[in-house]
Structure 1
Amino acid sequence: MFQLSDYAYDLPPQKIAQTPCKNRSNSRLLHLDRNSGIVAHHQFDDILTLLKDDDLLVINNTKVVPARLFGQKETGGKIEVLIIDYAAGMKHLEKTGFFQCDCLVKASKSPKKGARLYLADTVEARVEQVKGNVFEIRFLNGDKFSDFLKKSGKIPLPPYIKREDPSSGQTDPDDYQTIYASNEGAVAAPTAGLHFTNSLMADLKKKGIEFAPITLHVGYGTFVPVRVQDIREHQIHSEYFSLSKDSADKINRAKHQNRRIVAVGTTSVRTLEFLSDETGFVTAQTGQCDLFIYPGYTFKCVDAMITNFHLPESTLLMLISAFYSREHILDAYQEAINKDYRFFSYGDAMLIE
């Protein structure tokens, strides 16, 4: 249960979705009932009948920023920069007038401290610190940084989504964003939310289902592999979160009324559990979430979750294995493979209740 190999499974590469469904809510939905153990197959918009009339859906309203930048080094060599802590960079901008944060850099030869980087629109950046494979970079265009990023940055798709022909990814800026994304700061989408459409959300609200937005700015750490054999030794990444008083009140009211808290995505699960007291109630606040959930964890707040299919040996697979059981989850994954489900960010979804 605590060995990394316990979370391995074989996934044929062709099962990894490279594009989303044309209609988001036409994706498939694997339904796991923890009480009966029954596995059922649906279309995502069947969630309308599967959810209870008084459920509270907690959604992550983070918005993916175009955090991928291209340019060259002083030597002329090509370079690619990926901003991995946008929230910290914005805080630094407010304090100092310069956007500065941790980044990943792809180049034939890594730049050293003090190196100048020349990006699009003649924007310069400087490497302030080198911390292993992470580079702290200051962008020298000051308060014009946000405009520059929107104009020149690219959406940072996960590495398993291939875009060899640039023209093939023209719709990614819209596709790789939930319809309710409003709070800029993520470098990866909370992908369980990608299945919702405006009409489906309107129908859910008509049914009596309530929505409570929270923010967790998904960081690149969500893609960082676990490198230790005993998963309990893994150090999970930290991500900025914010829970408003209005959403906290909705969650606590639902708890008082014995209504279900349904988390949309593992990011919502982690945030809710990080904020919950022992009875499942939450307090409005902002901060950094570094909760690592794996089997043996006792859930305090979340009663059901909607989630996508996750990478082998990933912390996200460990989280959902803690919510049901590792054996049941891996059996369900094998069933999804056999039934030709589409995996990962642009793939199909699960409802575990």
Structure 2
Amino acid sequence: MRVDLFDFDLPDDNIALRPANPRDSARLLVVKPDAETILSDQIVRDLPSFLKSGDALVFNDTKVIPAQLEGVRSREGAPDLAVSATLHMRMAPDSWKAFAKPGKRLKIGDRIRFGHSGEACALGTLDAVLEDKGEGGEVTLRFDLSGPALDEAIMAVGHIPLPPYIAAKRPEDERDSQDYQTIYAREEGAVAAPTAGLHFTPELFAALDAAGIERHFVTLHVGAGTFLPVKADDTTEHKMHSEIGYVSPETAYALNAVKASGGRIICVGTTSLRLLESAASKDGALHAWSGATDIFITPGYRFRTVDVLMTNFHLPRSTLFMLVSAFAGYETMKSAYAHAIACGYRFYSYGDSSLLFRKSDP
């Protein structure tokens, strides 16, 4: 499909720079493609009223790490060069793939010292060698530290990589270390938060429990590729960046039991959905799964296991707007986004949310 079909105009005033407070007071646009009333304006804390006992919510429990590193490249015979690197996928105990700027000026074999003004961090210097270069500024960095020692050094010198549409308007601050993390985050490794989950509070969890809604967790470490625009003219020409995920045997078994008893699977976030669709066989059965997924969902995709999706409002021309268009219907989502913009919904990571019911297959 043509990528420009997924374009739309979004006023700057609709882009959220801070989350709602409390988190579950954000607005919720409910979209039911096959119902008489397709769109309805609600609040996130109303979520239990749209679900039923025996349904299951699936959350991504990945935890955002301070994956934005600033450093200095040193190369014999060349002046020092300031380098910014966003880690996005761990390849080995001492190696990460990253998006680096200025990528074109870096060469294989360059040494980069990360930290405060390139100085040693509390655990020693955080040095890396540029081991490989890919397209679009992607590089592979092999660090002098490895395993837990590298993790601690990254925690010491890195900072939270706010999405570019927020970072361009204000700097990261102390509030973001709390705001840009779900209350149930536990598996470290994400570069970006699974933002639909940012709306949940202990009070909302208690209300869902009281309504008999099950709660299950999977892990998909969201990569920096989620921020990248689609530059191709056609969706067939776009390459997705892989992300590492994990579905436990216990979770797969529990979700299969939910489906067998007539319950629905509600994914909180596109990351949870992409992981479950990767772990499902064609008949919809879920299996224990681990590895890298680069699943790219566009209109025409036949969903295997997910019934309902809770997700924030996404970028124009993004793979995620393509995904929601595949899930609830292209025309429905164009109308839903037009309604959201006109009604002042807040977009992107810190914005409002939507609850999408899957459009029936033709």
Give me the whole-angstrom Cα distance separating, in 2, the residues matched to 1:14 and 1:293.
29
In structure 2, relative to structure 1, the CA distance for the partners of 1:312 and 1:164 (3 Å cut) is: closer
Structure 1 distance, partners of 2:294, 2:82, is 34
Partner residue of 1:125 out of 115, 118, 128: 128
Distance 1:236 1:130, change over 3 A: closer
Q: Give 2:41's aligned residue.
A: 41
Q: What is the match of residue 96 of structure 1?
A: none
Counterpart for residue 51 of structure 1:
51
Q: Do residues 311 (structure 1) and 315 (structure 2) align?
A: yes
Describe the shift of the 1:141–1:164 C-alpha distance in structure 2 as closer, same or farther (beyond 3 A): farther
Cα distance between partner residues in 2 of 1:47 and 1:38: 16
Q: Tell me what 2:150 maps to.
A: 145
Residue 211 of structure 1: CA displacement?
0.8
Residues 32 and 351, structure 1, Cα contact 8 Å, conserved in 2: yes
The structural deviation recorded for 1:163 is 6.1
User: Residues 266 and 316 of structure 1 are in contact (CA less than 8 Å); yes or no, is this contact kept in structure 2?
Assistant: yes
User: Counterparts of 1:219 and 1:39 in 2: how far apart (Å)?
Assistant: 31
**Residue equivalent to 2:31:** 32
| Contact kept? 1:113, 1:128, Cα under 8 Å | yes
Q: CA deviation at 1:325?
A: 1.1
Between stretches 114-123 and 20-29, larger displacement belongs to 114-123
Residues 38 and 105 (structure 1), Cα distance of their counterparts in 2 relative to 1, 3 Å cut: same
Encode CA deviations 1:286-332: one digit per residue, 9 max, x unaligned.
11112111111111201111011010111111111111111110111
Residues 290 and 109 of structure 1: is their aligned pair in 2 closer, same or farther, counting only changes over 3 Å?
A: closer
Q: Does 1:268 align with 2:267?
A: no
User: Which residue of structure 2 aligns with residue 105 of structure 1?
Assistant: 100
CA distance in 1, matches of 2:168, 2:226: 20
Within the candidate set 186, 190, 193, 1:189 is matched to 193
Tell me how far apart the structure 1 counterparts of residues 209 and 24 of structure 2 sit (CA, whole Å): 16
Letter paired with 1:6: L
Q: Counterpart in 1 of 2:118?
A: none
Instruction: Name the structure 2 match of 1:65.
Output: 65
Alignment of 1:225-244 (within 5 A): 225-244=229-248
CA distance in 2, matches of 1:173, 1:351: 26
| Map of 2:351 onto structure 1 | 347
Tell me, in whole angstroms, the C-alpha distance in 1 between the residues paired with 2:274 and 2:138: 25
What percentage of residue pairs aligned between the two structures are identical?
41
Question: What are structure 1's unaligned runs of at least 5 residues?
Answer: 94-98
CA separation of 1:48 and 1:159: change in aligned 2, threshold 3 A: same
Q: Are 2:266 and 2:309, in contact at CA under 8 Å, matched by a contact in 1?
A: yes
Q: Deviations over 1:49-106 (max 9, x none)?
A: 12212210011111111101112222333221211113x2xxx21xxxxx11211222
- Note if contact 2:240-2:294 (Cα within 8 Å) is conserved in structure 1: yes
Please tell me whether residue 20 in structure 1 is matched to residue 19 in structure 2: yes
**1:306 partner amino acid:** M
Q: Residues 219 and 239 of structure 1 are in contact (CA less than 8 Å); yes or no, is this contact kept in structure 2?
A: yes
Cα distance in 2, alignment partners of residues 240 and 108 from structure 1:
24
Letter in 1 for 2:166: I
Please give the secondary structure, in 1, of the residue aligned with 2:255: helix
Q: Unpaired segments of 5 or more residues in structure 2?
A: 116-120, 358-362
The Cα shift of 1:35 comes to 2.1
Q: C-alpha separation between the residues in 2 aligned to 1:268 and 1:274?
A: 10
Report the Cα offset of residue 164 of structure 1.
6.0
Secondary structure of the corresponding residue to residue 306 of structure 2 = coil
CA–CA separation in structure 2 for the residues paired with 1:165 and 1:43: 27
2:160 aligned with 1:155, yes or no?
Answer: yes
Matched AA of 2:153 = F
For these two proteins, the number of residue pairs brought into alignment is 342
CA distance, structure 2, for counterparts of residue 218 and residue 239 of structure 1: 6
**If the length of structure 2 is used for normalisation, what is the TM-score?**
0.90
Query: How far apart, in 2, do the equivalents of 1:109 and 1:60 lie?
Result: 34
8 Å CA contact 1:18–1:162 kept in 2: the answer is no
| 4+ runs deviating over 6 angstroms | none
After superposition, residues 204-283 of structure 1 pair within 5 angstroms as 204-283=208-287
Relative to structure 1, the CA distance from residue 142 to residue 239 in structure 2 (aligned partners, 3 Å threshold; closer, same or farther) is: closer
Cα RMSD for the two superposed structures? 1.6
Match for residue 286 of structure 1?
290
- 1:305, 1:25 → 2: CA distance? 17
TM-score (norm 1): 0.93
Within the candidate set 284, 296, 300, 1:296 is matched to 300
Q: Which moved more, 1:115-124 or 1:21-30?
A: 115-124
**Contact kept? 2:33, 2:332, Cα under 8 Å:** no
